[in-house]
Amino acid sequence: MNGPNMIIPRTGIGLDVHAFAAEEDPRQLWLGGLLWPGERGLSGHSDGDPVAHAAADALFSAAGVGDLGTHFGTDRPEFAGASGVTLLAEAARIVRAAGFDIGNIAVQFVANRPKFGPRREEAQQVLSDAAGAPVSVTATTSDGLGFTGRGEGISAVATALVYPRHHEGIGQSASANLER
Ligand SMILES: Nc1ccn([C@@H]2O[C@H](COP(=O)(O)O)[C@@H](O)[C@H]2O)c(=O)n1
Ligand SMILES: C[C@@]1(CO)OP(=O)(O)OP(=O)(O)OC[C@H]1O
């Protein structure tokens, strides 16, 4: 039952896909907030980190304050080459400014490589520091199927849980608080 003083958490979802850059392109791979030396880079306006981007989009979705394009559009030259960690930290700042606290973020990416397991703790630490809340990351292959199976790109999906810091009028004030 929803009492007048009950805090109702909100979930959000984010999905991001980046294609691998051409083989001759010197872009480096950024994934889960980490640099992966020797791995082929992903294309993108920013550093192309789908894990960080999906996490940021899940936060925006949970707070109901738009999405990645709303806040970090590709028409904004200041985000060219931007680090996914920086975008996630900025997304968390925006969501908190809109009146929400962040419970957690969970991300799963789909790729044949890099092999993520050995660097999971490192990635989770970097992303959790950026979000100021626990971020967990899991990885899977698509069993050789689809664009991820063919090694054409990497996809990531994320969920986030946020909850309003103050109960009153949060539905109306989320956008207004963004301006403050
Ligand atoms: N890039 C990846 C992909 C997967 N893993 C780990 O391997 C496990 C098995 O993958 P399946 O595709 O067969 O589910 C998976 O659960 C991950 O632990 C990985 O580290 N890096
Ligand atoms: C992050 C932004 C902005 O630099 O660019 P991309 O790196 O291309 O990433 P995408 O996931 O397509 O999201 C759009 C933009 O907000």
Using one digit for the tens of pLDDT, what is the confidence trace for 35-44?
999 999 999 9
Indicate if ipTM > 0.85: yes
Q: Write down the pLDDT at residue 179.
A: 41
| Res 2: pLDDT | 64
Q: Give the whole-angstrom CA distance, residue 68 versus residue 46.
A: 12
Which of 18, 46, 60, 88, when mutated, tests ligand 2's pocket best, judged by the most ligand atoms within 8 Å of its CB?
Answer: 46
- Report d(CA 49, CA 67) in Å as an integer: 16
The predicted model gives 135-144 an average pLDDT of 98
Structural domains in the chain, CATH included, are 10-166 (3.30.1330.50)
> 56 CB under 6 A from ligand 2?
no
Residue 128 token pair: 């959790």
**Structure tokens, 122:** 């490192």
Percent of the chain with pLDDT over 90: 82
- This prediction has a pTM of 0.91
Q: How many CB atoms lie within 10 A of CB 113?
A: 14
Mapping DSSP to helix (H, G, I), strand (E, B) and coil, where does residue 154 land?
strand
Classify 155 as helix, strand or coil.
Answer: strand
